[in-house]
Structure 1
Amino acid sequence: MTNSHTPHAPRARRVPRAAATLALTALATLAATAPARAADDTMPNVNGKSLSAAYQALHNNKDVQLQDGRGAGRHVLWPANWKVCAQHPQAGAPLQHQKVKLTVVKSRELCGNGR
């Protein structure tokens, strides 16, 4: 009796659906190049709000410049853990051709104005 075992071809690796969705979302975010805008093209008031709420008020446009309010140069990896301390332009200002800049700190930290 002979052993006629034949090696199997290596299985193709499958990318999990969640990873593929995350990658496509990241690419779509990087592709956005228009300045952030509210529905009526005016800057909403996002001071004191979570960064997630600020993104929602700006219709999830991630083309927003973020600045660490503590001056430590930290990067935001999870917006739900951060809050807005200052914004430019100010609430109500027209957003035509303006970049939005938000100064943020971690949610448990105080802003420079004590909030």
Structure 2
Amino acid sequence: MEKPANAKNELLATVKEFERRGMAKAMLAAKDHKHIISSLRKRLSGKDLEIEIMFKEVNGVPKFATFNFLRPKVASFIFFSYDDQGKRFVNRKLFNRMYEFLESDQLVPEFRELIMSEQFDEDLSSK
């Protein structure tokens, strides 16, 4: 069995990679639409878990990524934020809360599987 700290670090690495790919796709979509503020939403559904992730940028600079859990319980987490140059920061305390939220229903493996399988293809909708 994985140690909790190791499991958290592995999930954080997976989420960082997912966020990097999602924000890159959001930035490409923003260039196509010429909006000052744009966001990209992605809904992922699994057996016991449904989440909506939103990547937001302003004037071509990433601002934040929001993880909204819709099932089995409702919760929102914003643990990625960006400075004016687009440098990413991780609020580790908020990430740990999300991890505990997932762990309480034993959903960490399903969450990891959902975000690892997402390729950000044509089904990503821009709003």
- Establish whether TM, by shorter chain, passes 0.5: no
Q: Which structure has the bigger radius of gyration?
A: 1
More strand by share: 2
More helix by share: 2
TM-score by length of 2: 0.27
